[in-house]
Structure 1
Amino acid sequence: MTPTGVTPQRTLSIVPIDTPSLGDRSYLVHDGSVAFVVDPQRDIDRVLEVLDREGLSLTHVFETHVHNDYVTGGLALARETGAAYLLNGSDEVAFEREPLHDGQSLGIGDRIRVEVVATPGHTFNHLSYALHDRHSGQGLAVFSGGSLLYGSTGRPDLLGEEHTDRLARLQHGSARRLRELLPDDALLYPTHGFGSFCSATQSDAAESTIGMERSTNPVLLHDEDTYVRQLLEGLGDWPAYYVHMASLNSAGPERPDLTFPREATPEEIRRRVDAGEWVVDLRNRTAFAAGHVPGSFNFGLDGSFATNLGWLFDWGTPITLLGELPEHVSQAQRELARIGIDRPAAAATGGPGQWSDREPATFGQADFRRLAEVLRERPVVVLDVRRTDEFEAGHIEGAVNAPLHELRSSELPGGELWIHCQSGYRASVAASLLAAAGRDVVAVDDHFGEAAGAGLTVTSGGA
């Protein structure tokens, strides 16, 4: 029972909305009545579902930065709910928004105060948002976007080589500013760092605090020069589709149309393959190898579907999706919309028998033990499609390295190709691309850790 005239104190709740396929998290924060959202993904129905279920009124949508790895749903969400849309006033965008600046403080409801903190490094205009209890003033948490991450920071090289060193040094200072601004028990809520290539390195941590990062994160342990040197030495390639994201986000993306695509006939699918369009089979690699539409590509939903497809995709090319069930097509459509690939040209469900007016194409699958046996019988090309850093850490003696994201521009030796990666997913993608181009391929569906035990010689150091 609450005494007359006393307002009951509401409990603050922070609801993460995960997008594991891209390695990102959005956050919905509420006091049981009003809410704000940080860095929403483009498929805003997930946010709207929480608002409706909890009976919440959304008042603010915050962006930490103009994103490089996905298309935001922030503007569409704000327009649909009437919430204020907020981002750094220095960001040049083609739509109206409420500009934010460093040190600004916003009251939300009767419990929440959000402090705007300039944290350049991932981008020049990056902001973090410190969450305070409006009554006690206590710093509860910080939404750090691509600034301070779990055991790492956001990478500083996405705006071009000419800016990388400067941004890395800014990132060092920004992380330390957050450390000094907030107490050790303040919770850390980054947007990146769960597999996203926006993270400089990856961590297995599922949660953290400012205090935990103070004692473990290199950016808070090392001086600026040491941090910058180690950071830049460890950066790898980032997905090619990233170059399209900032411009799409600056233009003001609308809510995606996720209605089911038009159904394609076998004759239409064949025409699209022959025209050089992308026909993408969403099934797992075992099913694809056993039979698929000739000329189609395998990007299974059981792996990093959107990241790998977006990395290799010819931007603007019509795409047709083939899935066993309608929900598989819908899942793929949703994931593609998150990276700006909208409205598939067509789709079909079922299997190769319903999709093709020709005999299904096939290729072989094997494990590393079978590869070792074959190499003792006859010469074949061992093609390793892992990234360069993975290859240099350890590879099969004599293997040719053509990272998957460089495969289509690589000159490969002639002959039979036995293709492997770390666990089999990328090998199947590569095998499908090369088989469509007429190469004789076998996909190794095995974990690379089994290679040495299978009798293959594994070397390291780039040898």
Structure 2
Amino acid sequence: MLTRLFRIEGLGHLSTLIADDSAGVAAVVDPRRDVDAYLDAAREINVRITHVVETHLHNDYVSGGRELAALTGATHLIGAGAALAHEHRPLRDGATFDVGSLRFMTRDTPGHTPEHVVYSVADTSRGEDPALLFTGGSLLVGAVGRTDLLGEEHAVAYAHDMHRSLHEVILPHDDHVVVQPTHGAGSLCATGIASTPTTTIGYERRHDALLRVQDVEDFARRLLHRQPAVPRYFARMRPTNQAGPALLGGRIPEPRPMPVDETRSAIAGGALLLDLRPPADHAVAHAPGSQSIPLGPSFGTWLGWVVEPDRPIVLILERPTDWDEAIRQAIRIGAEGSIVGHLRGGFGAWADSGGRLESSGRLSVDQLADQLDRGGPEAPLVIDVRQADEYASSHIPGSIHITAGSLPDRLAELPADRPIATICASGLRASVAASILRTNGFTDVSWVASGVPAWRAAGHPIVRGEAPTGSAPTRRRAPIRAGARG
């Protein structure tokens, strides 16, 4: 048995090519949509992909199952409850199939999603006992998959299902069995996922406290507490995967450079100019109305979270070679069709054309502290755009909490006549949030270039506690000095 792990950092996505190399055959479990990496790996180890296997209908990315099956002629397998609208082989509880000497057994494990299954794998050339368990979005490394992605109205019932799946199907496996989940660190499909991509049944049984909770109601409460905010694009992923994503034919869309005049015409027609340069560069100078989402591991998530799905997009790339990474991340969330091209010559071409330029405010933590201490109408409203658990652990007195991705839906709560400063943990989310506000008509907006950890390290006051909702308080709360408990 030979395995090759593939990881997408920003999505926290893990997929696996598993092969019987002596028989020259392989399966790919939970593939991403740009499938060339699997084809390259199969050629490298001289195997043929005969099976494409999925644990559930994914909510966080567009599946590559249909694409990979079409390119290789492989059988596409998934639990029967998925009810895919395209060619596949549905698997019921207990169904088995072989990939050379590797025997897969399917077990129903509803919870993360209702149709979820796991696959145990035994290398029958050595024995009949399972050595590996593909757990999808159920048992993760140091965590359990969330059960609220299909709506709060289902969350508790699905949590009850998850408890049964864990204790009746997954945890009875032997301690040595390797656990290979689909959601890893960085995924928004759970909270608290460890950074290592694999684990074992025995290690999780010993070290994951949630697995020791026997009372199902207590389990549900703990599982659902402080889960991260869900990107808006998640709602489109399940129906897209069920209906069948459009086939790419194994091709990545070619770059389409657009001259400045064509770019201006596209903007006049409603296109968004999306600036992928580093936040500091965008702050110094940018095209009016352009929105900043820097090209990093989470670019695709931000793209699907804060940009309207049908709006045409023209990219400003830092380097022409950035096209490949940008379009791949768009492909993984089904947004490639919205990207009409990229500005030829990048931001330099826009600046050289004589077009108007704008800049945006960027603050250090000390500058923000000075502004807040002075008070009065010039003191900014501080919006903490981190996740709820981060805010609860420590935040600036008087700040309000709105996750960056939720800002487009909560603009009406914010004062139009007051300066605003956004802050996160490092500056990236704050810069995206500030750009969202500016492109929605808020003019006096700054972002903090470091974040709350730097604020605290500088000795500025912090408070702890759950995030309030609603409009901003007008006064700063009594501070707890950094290092104090409260």
TM-score range, shorter chain: over 0.9
1:140 to 2:140 alignment? no
State the Cα distance separating 1:273 from its structure 2 match: 3.4
Alpha carbons of structure 1 residues 108 and 196: separation in structure 2 relative to 1, 3 Å: same
Separation in 1, partners of 2:387, 2:168: 34
Separation in 2, partners of 1:228, 1:161: 12
1:461 to 2:465 alignment? yes
Q: Provide the residue aligned with 2:483 in structure 1.
A: none
Q: Provide the residue aligned with 2:419 in structure 1.
A: 416
Matches within 5 A, 1:272-283: 272-283=266-277
State the Cα distance separating 1:298 from its structure 2 match: 0.9
Matches within 5 A, 1:12-411: 12-32=1-21, 33-109=24-100, 111-135=101-125, 136-223=127-214, 224-256=216-248, 257-343=251-337, 344-355=339-350, 357=353, 358-377=355-374, 379-381=378-380, 382-408=382-408, 409-410=410-411, 411=413
State the Cα distance separating 1:73 from its structure 2 match: 0.7
Separation in 2, partners of 1:216, 1:234: 20
CA contact (8 A) 2:260 2:344 kept: no
State the Cα distance separating 1:113 from its structure 2 match: 0.7
Separation in 1, partners of 2:297, 2:90: 38
2:383 counterpart SS class: strand
State the Cα distance separating 1:417 from its structure 2 match: 2.1
CA contact (8 A) 2:184 2:195 kept: no
Q: Which segments of 5 or more consecutive residues in structure 2 lack a partner in the other structure?
A: 467-476, 478-486
Tell me the alpha carbon deviations over residues 76-98 of structure 1, each in whole angstroms, 9 at most, x when there is no partner.
10111011011112322211211
CA contact (8 A) 2:120 2:130 kept: yes
- 428, 432, 442: which one aligns with 1:429: 432
Q: Match of 1:300, as an amino acid?
A: P
1:229 counterpart SS class: helix
Alpha carbons of structure 1 residues 216 and 13: separation in structure 2 relative to 1, 3 Å: same
CA contact (8 A) 1:179 1:214 kept: no
Separation in 2, partners of 1:418, 1:234: 24
Aligned length, in residue pairs: 451
1:442 to 2:437 alignment? no
Alpha carbons of structure 1 residues 415 and 81: separation in structure 2 relative to 1, 3 Å: same
Separation in 1, partners of 2:181, 2:196: 12
Tell me the alpha carbon deviations over residues 350-395 of structure 1, each in whole angstroms, 9 at most, x when there is no partner.
4323135413211122210121233344532123222333323221
Q: Match of 2:117, as an amino acid?
A: L
2:131 counterpart SS class: strand
Tell me the alpha carbon deviations over residues 188-247 of structure 1, each in whole angstroms, 9 at most, x when there is no partner.
100013211112432233431010011122342111232112112232321110000011
CA contact (8 A) 1:65 1:125 kept: yes
Alpha carbons of structure 1 residues 393 and 275: separation in structure 2 relative to 1, 3 Å: farther
State the Cα distance separating 1:455 from its structure 2 match: 4.6
State the Cα distance separating 1:46 from its structure 2 match: 1.0
1:106 counterpart SS class: strand
Separation in 1, partners of 2:262, 2:388: 39
Separation in 1, partners of 2:401, 2:53: 42
Q: Provide the residue aligned with 2:481 in structure 1.
A: none
1:148 counterpart SS class: coil
Separation in 1, partners of 2:151, 2:400: 29
Tell me the alpha carbon deviations over residues 101-132 of structure 1, each in whole angstroms, 9 at most, x when there is no partner.
111111221x2111111111111111111010
Percent identity among equivalent residues?
Answer: 36
CA contact (8 A) 2:180 2:197 kept: no
Separation in 1, partners of 2:445, 2:11: 29
Q: Match of 2:17, as an amino acid?
A: L
Q: Which segments of 5 or more consecutive residues in structure 1 lack a partner in the other structure?
A: 1-11
Q: Match of 2:105, as an amino acid?
A: E
State the Cα distance separating 1:275 from its structure 2 match: 4.0
CA contact (8 A) 1:73 1:254 kept: no
Q: Match of 2:221, as an amino acid?
A: R
TM-score normalised by L of structure 1: 0.92
State the Cα distance separating 1:71 from its structure 2 match: 0.4
Separation in 2, partners of 1:263, 1:368: 39
Separation in 1, partners of 2:285, 2:45: 46
Q: Match of 2:358, as an amino acid?
A: A
Separation in 2, partners of 1:156, 1:129: 20
Alpha carbons of structure 1 residues 303 and 50: separation in structure 2 relative to 1, 3 Å: closer
2:369 counterpart SS class: helix
Separation in 2, partners of 1:242, 1:113: 33
State the Cα distance separating 1:438 from its structure 2 match: 4.7
Cα RMSD for the two superposed structures: 1.9
CA contact (8 A) 1:352 1:360 kept: no
Separation in 1, partners of 2:430, 2:227: 23
State the Cα distance separating 1:181 from its structure 2 match: 4.4
Q: Provide the residue aligned with 1:9 in structure 2.
A: none
Tell me the alpha carbon deviations over residues 138-175 of structure 1, each in whole angstroms, 9 at most, x when there is no partner.
21110000111112111111122222111111111111
Runs ≥4 in structure 1, deviation > 6 angstroms? none
Q: Provide the residue aligned with 2:474 in structure 1.
A: none
State the Cα distance separating 1:347 from its structure 2 match: 0.9
Separation in 2, partners of 1:315, 1:44: 23
1:149 counterpart SS class: coil
Q: Which shows bigger deviation, 359-368 or 165-174? A: 359-368
State the Cα distance separating 1:266 from its structure 2 match: 1.6
Q: Provide the residue aligned with 2:470 in structure 1.
A: none
TM-score normalised by L of structure 2: 0.88
CA contact (8 A) 2:386 2:401 kept: yes
